[in-house]
């Protein structure tokens, strides 16, 4: 069963890649007392993720902050080394915290895994975006397979209620 509006985000350890480098973070610490936008991509360096999804959040980071968002996070079922390289490639800087869910534990706990084994990619995350206040989901948009509309930065920003 997948997470829904009103639910609390799963509590666990993830690897965060930010301006301080790569480090372990507890989700409850990351989301506590904050208005957070979290978006998930099926994989770092994949075409839609690299050409549209992450760049949209980077381009709109200031607008999210202006609406009261404390933190923008991107999560993928990739290891911290891949997420760090992708952050450098995309020139993320301090605009987005990159979260590595290398074993898909967070993704499975969210109920939003996507089995791409037949395509040689293993278990990945569905493409989605959510807004959470103090770790509680206030908005959730999950894309249909192959979709890229409701989780775009330009769509998500209209659902921020500061």
Cα–Cα dist 162/105, whole Å: 30
Among residues 37, 49, 129, 157, the one annotated as catalytic is 49
Exposure class string for 26-48: b at 16+ Cβ within 10 A, else e? ebeebbeeebbbbbbbbbbebeb
Q: Name the strand (E) or helix (H) holding 131.
A: strand 128-133
Q: 64 exposed, middle or buried (CB, 10 Å; 0-12, 13-18, 19+)?
A: buried
Q: How many angstroms separate the Cα of 83 from the Cα of each of 13, 30, 39, 96, 116? A: 16, 17, 14, 12, 19
Is 49 catalytic? The answer is: yes
Task: Assess contact for 103 and 78: CB atoms under 8 A.
Answer: no
Active site residues: 49
């Amino acid at each position: 069963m997948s997470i829904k509006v009103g639910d609390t985000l799963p509590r666990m350890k993830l690897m965060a890649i930010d301006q301080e480098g790569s480090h372990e973070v507890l989700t409850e610490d990351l989301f506590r007392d904050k208005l957070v936008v979290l978006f998930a991509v099926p994989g770092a360096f994949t075409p839609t993720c690299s050409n549209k999804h992450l760049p949209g959040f980077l381009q709109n980071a200031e607008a999210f902050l202006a609406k009261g968002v404390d933190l923008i996070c991107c999560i993928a079922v990739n290891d911290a080394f891949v997420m760090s390289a992708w952050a450098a490639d995309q020139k993320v800087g301090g605009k987005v915290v990159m979260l590595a869910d290398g074993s898909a534990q967070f993704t499975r706990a969210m109920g939003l895994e996507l089995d791409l084994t037949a395509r040689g990619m293993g278990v990945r995350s569905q493409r989605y975006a959510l807004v959470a206040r103090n770790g509680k989901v206030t908005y959730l948009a999950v894309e249909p397979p192959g979709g890229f509309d409701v989780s775009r930065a330009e769509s998500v920003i209209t659902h921020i209620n500061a």
